[in-house]
Chain A
Amino acid sequence: MIDFFGRMVSQPLPIHLLVGGYLLIFVSVVHLAYMGLVLGSSLLALVFDFYEFTSPDRRWRKFARYLAELPLRSFWASVLLGLVPVLTAIALYQQILFPADPGPQWPPLPHQLTTKMMSVGLVLLVPGLLLLYFYKWSFKVRRTHFLTHFLSGLAGNGLALLAYLFIISGMALALDPERWPYLSQYWQSTYDMRAWIMYSFSQISRFLTFQVSAMAITGAAILWDFYRSDWKIEDDAGYVSLVRNFGAGLALANVMALPVMMYWNLITLQYINMSVQLYNLFLIGLLILLVVSIWLFKTITNPQRKGSVWPLLGLLVFLVVYNVGEAMARDQALLDYNNVLNAAAQTKLQTLQTANASATGGAGQEKPGGAQAGQQLYTDKGCSACHSVDGSRRIGPSWKGLYGHTVTVLANGKPETVTADDAYIKESILQPGAQVVQGFPNVMPAQQLSDAEITALIDYIKTLK
Chain B
Amino acid sequence: MFKRFGTLLFYAYFGVFFLITLGLSSYFNAFHSTPPQPVPYPHVKHLQAGLQCLDCHQSANKGKYAGLPPLSFCMSCHQSVGTNLPGIKTLTEYWKTKKPVQWNRLHRIPDFVYFSHKRHVTAKTKNYPNGVPCQSCHGQVQNMPYPMRKSRSLSMGFCVGCHRQNNASLDCYTCHK
Interface residues of A (CB under 8 A from B): 104-105, 178-179, 181-182, 185, 256, 259, 263, 266, 270-272, 274-276, 279-280, 282-283, 286-287, 289-290, 293-294, 297-298, 301-302, 335-337, 339-340, 342-343, 382, 384-386, 388, 392, 394-395, 444-447
Q: Which of A178, A283, A388 is the one whose CB lies under 8 Å from B22?
A: A283
**Alpha-carbon distance A289/B133, docked complex (angstroms):** 46
**Alpha-carbon distance A446/B50, docked complex (angstroms):** 8
Q: Is the CB of A286 within 8 A of B149?
A: no
Q: Which residue of B lies closest to A179 (CB)?
A: B161
Q: Is the CB of B127 within 8 A of A256?
A: no
Q: Which residue of A lies closest to B136 (CB)?
A: A105
Q: Which of A271, A301, A388, A395 is the one whose CB lies under 8 Å from B77?
A: A395
Q: Which residue of B lies closest to A293 (CB)?
A: B10
The SS class assigned to the A binding surface is: helix
**Alpha-carbon distance A35/B124, docked complex (angstroms):** 50
Q: Which of B45, B134, B143 is the one whose CB lies under 8 Å from A342?
A: B143
Query: Nearest Cβ distance between residue A384 and chain B, in whole angstroms?
Result: 7
Query: Inside 8 A of B44's CB, which chain A residues have their CB?
Result: 339
Q: Is the CB of A290 within 8 A of B25?
A: no
Q: Is the CB of A104 within 8 A of B139?
A: no
Q: Which of B28, B80, B140 is the one whose CB lies under 8 Å from A276?
A: B28
**Alpha-carbon distance A266/B158, docked complex (angstroms):** 20
Interface residues of B (CB under 8 A from A): 2-3, 6-7, 10-11, 13-14, 17-18, 20-22, 24-25, 28-29, 32-33, 44-45, 48-51, 77, 80-82, 127-128, 130, 133-136, 139-140, 143-145, 149-153, 155, 158, 161-162, 165
Query: Inside 8 A of A280's CB, which chain B residues have their CB?
Result: 25
**Alpha-carbon distance A340/B136, docked complex (angstroms):** 14
Query: Nearest Cβ distance between residue B65 and chain A, in whole angstroms?
Result: 21
**Alpha-carbon distance A179/B158, docked complex (angstroms):** 8
Query: Inside 8 A of B140's CB, which chain A residues have their CB?
Result: 105, 336-337, 339-340
Q: Is the CB of B143 within 8 A of A104?
A: no
| 21 contacting pairs across A/B (C-beta < 8 A) | A104-B127, A104-B130, A105-B134, A263-B20, A270-B153, A274-B32, A276-B25, A283-B21, A286-B18, A289-B14, A290-B11, A293-B14, A297-B6, A297-B7, A301-B3, A337-B140, A340-B140, A342-B143, A384-B82, A395-B77, A445-B51
